[in-house]
């Protein structure tokens, strides 16, 4: 199963961990793509603030997806971040391809972040018994996205 002779986890645990990580990778890549789409299409009041904020979130999302992919590699498996895989496996609701007000963009981004965080949290629950290192990685990514979710939601009021 592993490409490397020295396995970090037993084969069955590796399989379960990688399955969770692969879905989180897909969701993070999809989130990153949708954030960039929102960045390009936000208009109206607060345009600049939201436009810049989306790029700030994107930096953390891309860093998180890279960390997840590298964890899969560390466990001896090949991460799959191909466009077809993302399109076939993503759990996030696809946003509309259209210009949107800053207010509507914030609502959409909040929903995307919430769905991503819920996926991360479900994987964190599974990781507790399987791999504390991966659990810690996912906790860190989730904490960062939860902070972004808070900041985005604060603008909805």
**Domain annotation covers residue 104:** yes
> Is position 129 within any domain?
yes
**pLDDT at residue 119, as a whole number:** 98
Task: Count the domains in the chain.
Answer: 1
Let me know if residue 48 belongs to a domain: yes
pLDDT in tens, 66-99: 999 999 999 999 999 999 999 999 999 999 999 9
Which pLDDT does position 77 carry in this prediction?
A: 96
CATH number assigned to the domain comprising residue 108: 1.20.1260.10
Q: What percent of the chain has pLDDT over 70?
A: 99
Which stretches of the chain drop beneath a pLDDT of 50? none
pLDDT score at 5: 80
User: What's the confidence (pLDDT) of residue 1?
Assistant: 62
Residue in this structure with the two tokens 């600049």, named with its chain if needed = 48
Domain-embedded: residue 42: yes
Q: What pTM, to 2 d.p., does this model score?
A: 0.95
pLDDT score, position 86: 97
Q: Is 101 helix (H, G, I), strand (E, B) or coil?
A: strand
The DSSP line for the chain is --SSSS-SS-HHHHHHHHHHHHHHHHHHHHHHHHHHHHHHHEESTTHHHHHHHHHHHHHHHHHHHHHHHHHHHHTT------HHHHHHH--SPPPPSS-EEHHHHHHHHHHHHHHHHHHHHHHHHHHHHH-HHHHHHHHHHHHHHHHHHHHHHHHH-
Domain, as residue range, for 77: 11-156
Within a domain: 64: yes
Q: Is residue 52 part of a domain?
A: yes
């Amino acid at each position: 199963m592993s490409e490397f002779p020295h396995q970090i986890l037993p084969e069955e645990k590796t399989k379960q961990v990688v399955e969770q990580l692969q879905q989180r990778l897909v969701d993070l890549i999809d989130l990153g793509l949708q954030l960039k789409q929102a960045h390009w299409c936000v208009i109206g009041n607060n345009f600049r603030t939201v436009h810049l904020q989306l790029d700030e979130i994107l930096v953390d999302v891309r860093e998180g997806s890279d960390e997840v992919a590298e964890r899969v590699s560390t466990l001896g498996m090949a991460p799959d971040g191909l466009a077809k895989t993302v399109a076939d496996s993503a759990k996030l609701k696809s946003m509309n391809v259209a210009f949107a007000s800053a207010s509507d963009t914030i609502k959409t981004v909040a929903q995307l972040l919430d769905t991503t965080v819920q996926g991360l949290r479900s994987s964190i629950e599974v990781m507790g018994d399987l791999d504390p290192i991966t659990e810690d990685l996912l906790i860190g990514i989730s904490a960062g996205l939860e902070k972004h979710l808070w900041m985005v939601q604060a603008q909805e009021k």
